[in-house]
């Protein structure tokens, strides 16, 4: 009987100093097979290590998206490559403010998204966390019909 050996392709791990460093046993991002998985980003300023603008979900949303963008850029991608994101809010009442800021970063290519309210986030001053899944490689337009 011939036994077959499965080969697993390497999972690449990504790290950039332009986003907050992982605060535990995880990577800022991993990619495999043309897909980038970005770990949840809190509104932490990578220069100071502190939560940006405590109490202000709009300013915190800007910081979270800046952190996501830095990780995407380190992988050669941008927000336009995002396929799916998940937004975690400490208070669902912050949804309208978060949504206005979030929407200002995306053009006509809108990713799929979920948004949930959670009882707590890993930092007590954080009002928001966002993770994302993005396509790597050249973006191509749909062919004309």
Active site residues: 115
Fill in the DSSP letter of residue 51: B
What does the alpha-carbon distance between residue 123 and residue 115 come to, in Å, rounded to a whole number? 18
Residue recorded with tokens 């050996």: 5
φ/ψ of residue 62, rounded to 5: -60, -45
Strand partners, 84: 112, 133
> 64, 92, 68, 89: which is closest to 80 by C-alpha?
68
Q: Quick count: other Cβ atoms within 10 Å of Cβ 106?
A: 15
């Amino acid at each position: 009987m011939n036994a077959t050996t499965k080969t697993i392709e390497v999972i690449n791990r990504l790290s950039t100093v332009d986003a907050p460093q992982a605060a535990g046993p995880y990577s800022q991002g991993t990619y495999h097979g043309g897909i980038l998985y970005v770990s949840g980003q809190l509104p932490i300023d990578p220069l100071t290590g502190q939560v940006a603008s405590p109490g202000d979900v709009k300013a915190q949303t800007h910081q979270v998206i800046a952190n996501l963008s830095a990780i995407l850029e380190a992988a050669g991608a941008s927000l336009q490559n995002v396929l799916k994101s998940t937004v975690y809010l400490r208070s669902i009442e912050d949804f309208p403010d978060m949504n206005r800021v979030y929407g200002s970063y995306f053009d006509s290519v809108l990713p799929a998204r979920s948004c949930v309210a959670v009882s707590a986030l890993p930092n007590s001053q954080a009002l928001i966390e966002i993770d994302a899944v993005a396509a790597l490689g050249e973006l191509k337009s749909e062919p004309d019909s």
